[in-house]
């Protein structure tokens, strides 16, 4: 068996709309933006991940940057394959031509059968011999150290780039869930719209992302308010580049509508939870994971809305990939993993 392990490469993949993470041997070996740069003339992939992100919105007519995933699912099949292959190649020397590749990949819980097949096909094209899928909330629950096999209800809210997944988990299964396509990307769009509307300033996705990270907030009264942030963009009136200073209070109004949609989805999930599990959730609280969990004051706002304690996971960005890594080690034990036969 040990000899077989030498020829086996095991990867846990969090295929996200915004970032893709790959874990091998309990270490995160790849953590890159989910984006590829393609030469339009030849159709070749020029760059993947960070290198492609640096080109994003700065390209000329012969280069195109593509985000292969939209709302948590594969939107551009060819680009997704090239991206997965490029990221596996980043792992480098450990990949040998005779390796038996085994993968566990995360998927949103609201995904259709066709979309599941697209993930399996992409894995086949990068030569994966054994592929399993795991629902994101389940992976997040494992990643934050919850015992998913116990007869105890836990609610996990995973706010990613493309989707927000809300699920109540007990006895190795998802009892009830809500999956909405409002998450980090939607927050970024809200900030772009706000800057255009209120300041007559046109900014790109990357700048909006930086605003969200540096001064983004869900509530007005923060204990540790961030410093005001300087934003450069193009003035819509004159067409000349201009700089303005933005404070965190402005982002609260900009993000309000999207956060309200997330609040509604959380309340809806709580409404359809069986009463015994509701009593468990009252004791344990709500667990917040994913990149969206890093938005300042979001835990406070959800706590006020639900009157329940909200716990932000340690290192929320990597909770899902950590959980996928745990699932990879226990493929025989966990019944909730999806393989091709179950489709």
Task: Say yes or no to pLDDT of 94 above 70.
Answer: no
- Together in a domain, 30 and 111: yes
pLDDT at 30: 92
Residue 171 lies in a domain: yes
- Together in a domain, 96 and 36: yes
Residue 282 lies in a domain: yes
Out of 94-98, 223-227, 302-306, least confident range: 94-98
177-229 pLDDT, tens digit per residue, is: 999 999 999 999 999 999 999 999 999 999 999 999 999 999 999 999 999 99
Task: Indicate which CATH number applies to the domain containing 244.
Answer: 3.90.640.10
Boundary of a domain, candidates 207, 225, 254: 254
- Together in a domain, 170 and 188: no
What is the mean pLDDT of the segment spanning 110-125?
A: 88
pLDDT at 254: 95
- What residue numbers bound the domain in which 162 lies? 154-182+259-315
Task: Say yes or no to pLDDT of 97 above 60.
Answer: no
Task: Say yes or no to pLDDT of 3 above 90.
Answer: no
pLDDT at 125: 87
- Together in a domain, 194 and 58: no
- Together in a domain, 107 and 22: yes
Task: Say yes or no to pLDDT of 139 above 50.
Answer: yes
Task: Share the mean pLDDT of the chain.
Answer: 91
pLDDT at 334: 86
Residue 228 lies in a domain: yes
SS (H, E, C) the chain: CHHHHHCEEEEEEEECCCEEEEEECCEEEEEEECCEEEECCCCCEEEECHHHHHHCCCCCCCEEEECCEECCEECCHHHHHHHHHHHHHHHHHHCCCCCEEEEEEEECCCCCHHHHHHHHHHHHHCCEEEEEEEEHHHHHHHHCCCCCCCCCCEEEEEECCCCEEEEEEECCEEEEEEEECCCHHHHHHHHHHHHHHHHCEECCHHHHHHHHHHHCECCCCCCCCCCCEEEEEEECCCCCEEEEEECHHHHHHHHHHHHHHHHHHHHHHHHCCCHHHHHHHHHHCEEEECHHHHCECHHHHHHHHHCCCEEECCCHHHHHHHHHHHHHHCCCCCCCCECHHHC
- Together in a domain, 95 and 213: no
pLDDT at 1: 46
pLDDT at 25: 87
**Percentage of the chain lying above the pLDDT 70 cut:** 95
Boundary of a domain, candidates 254, 283, 299: 254
- Together in a domain, 305 and 164: yes
Task: Say yes or no to pLDDT of 171 above 70.
Answer: yes
- Together in a domain, 209 and 294: no
- Together in a domain, 164 and 292: yes
Residue 146 lies in a domain: no
pLDDT at 74: 87
Task: Say yes or no to pLDDT of 341 above 50.
Answer: yes
Residue 6 lies in a domain: yes
- Together in a domain, 334 and 279: no
Residue 149 lies in a domain: no
- Together in a domain, 234 and 263: no
- Together in a domain, 205 and 65: no
| Tally of domains within the chain | 3
Residue 147 lies in a domain: no
pLDDT at 95: 53
pLDDT at 304: 95
What is the mean pLDDT of the segment spanning 80-87?
A: 90
Residue 145 lies in a domain: no
33-72 pLDDT, tens digit per residue, is: 999 999 999 989 999 999 999 999 888 899 999 999 988 8
Boundary of a domain, candidates 204, 222, 254: 254
Task: Indicate which CATH number applies to the domain containing 80.
Answer: 3.30.420.40
């Amino acid at each position: 068996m040990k000899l077989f392990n030498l020829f086996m490469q095991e990867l846990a993949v969090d295929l996200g709309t915004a970032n893709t993470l790959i874990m091998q041997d309990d270490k995160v070996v790849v953590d890159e933006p989910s984006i590829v740069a393609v030469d339009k003339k030849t159709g070749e992939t020029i760059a993947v991940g960070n290198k492609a992100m640096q080109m994003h919105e700065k390209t000329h007519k012969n280069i195109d940057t593509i985000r292969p995933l939209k709302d948590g699912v594969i939107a551009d099949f060819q680009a997704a394959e090239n991206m997965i292959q490029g990221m596996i190649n980043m792992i480098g020397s450990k990949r040998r031509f005779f390796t038996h590749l085994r993968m566990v990949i995360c998927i949103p819980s609201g995904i259709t059968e066709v979309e599941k097949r697209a993930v399996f096909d992409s894995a086949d094209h990068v030569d994966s011999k054994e592929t399993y899928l795991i629902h994101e909330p389940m992976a997040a629950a494992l990643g934050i150290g919850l015992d998913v096999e116990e007869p105890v209800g836990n609610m996990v809210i995973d706010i990613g780039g493309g989707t927000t997944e809300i699920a109540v988990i007990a006895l190795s299964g998802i009892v009830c869930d809500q999956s909405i396509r409002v998450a980090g990307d939607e927050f970024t769009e809200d900030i772009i719209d706000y800057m255009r509307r209120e300041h007559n300033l046109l900014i790109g996705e990357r700048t909006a992302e930086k605003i969200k990270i540096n001064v983004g907030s869900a509530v007005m009264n923060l204990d540790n308010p961030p410093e005001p942030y300087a934003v450069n963009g193009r003035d819509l009136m004159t067409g000349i580049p201009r700089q303005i200073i933005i404070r965190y209070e402005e982002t609260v109004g900009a993000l309000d509508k999207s956060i309200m949609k997330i609040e509604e989805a959380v309340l809806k999930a709580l409404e359809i939870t069986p009463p015994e599990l509701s009593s468990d959730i009252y004791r344990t609280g709500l667990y917040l994971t994913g990149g969206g969990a890093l938005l300042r004051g979001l835990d406070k706002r959800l706590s006020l809305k639900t009157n329940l304690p909200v716990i932000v996971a340690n290192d929320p960005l990597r909770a899902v990939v950590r959980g996928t890594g745990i699932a990879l080690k226990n493929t025989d034990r966990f019944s909730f993993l999806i393989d091709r036969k179950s489709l």
